[in-house]
Amino acid sequence: TKRVRGVQIHRPFVYGTEAVPFDPANRPKNAPADHTHSWKVFVRGINNEDISYWLRKVQFKLHDTYPNSLRMIEGPPFEVEETGWGEFEIAIKFYFVPESTEKPQSIWHGLKLHPYGDDIEGKKERREMVKSICYEEVLFNEPVEQFYDVLTGG
């Protein structure tokens, strides 16, 4: 497994959270009584591009108050949907395809449940979805040849 010397390959992705307060007239039936919001955390390609050719699986580490707080997502869509009452930091661990021989990499992201920025009161009244979404790139430095071929379609 030779490395391709002097080569760096970047792959973009987006990750983040989306949350909405429960509709009081239509609470999710299985949600614990103290939960107030539905939310989702996700990793995906730009414009929903399929990134599974380099990203094998994703582990989301939720707050310890959640049952089974380690959620391994084995294929796209790489996302976890949950309900809850509080904001917390989510650890997102990327596992790359086996031919990469790359070690897993982690990033952190804060789950946002409550509106922020401008017109917070208006956003609350309209029960707007609260989004916290980031753009990032993973860097593969001197990838092994077999992974270089996968990345470049060779």
What are the residues binding ligand SLL (CB under 6 A)? 32, 63, 65-66, 84-88
Nearer to ligand SLL, 51 or 111 (CB): 111
What one-letter code names the amino acid at 27?
R
Based on CB atoms, which residue is closest to ligand SLL, 86 or 104?
86
- Please state the closest distance from residue 40 (CB atom) to ligand SLL, in A: 14
Cβ at position 81, least distance to ligand SLL in Å: 13
Residue 59 beta carbon to ligand SLL: minimum distance, rounded to whole angstroms: 18
Beta carbon nearer to ligand SLL, 65 or 101: 65
Least CB distance to ligand SLL at residue 64 (A): 8
CB nearer to ligand SLL: give 3 or 40.
40
Q: Determine the Cα–Cα distance for residues 24 and 37; give it in Å rounded to an integer.
A: 11
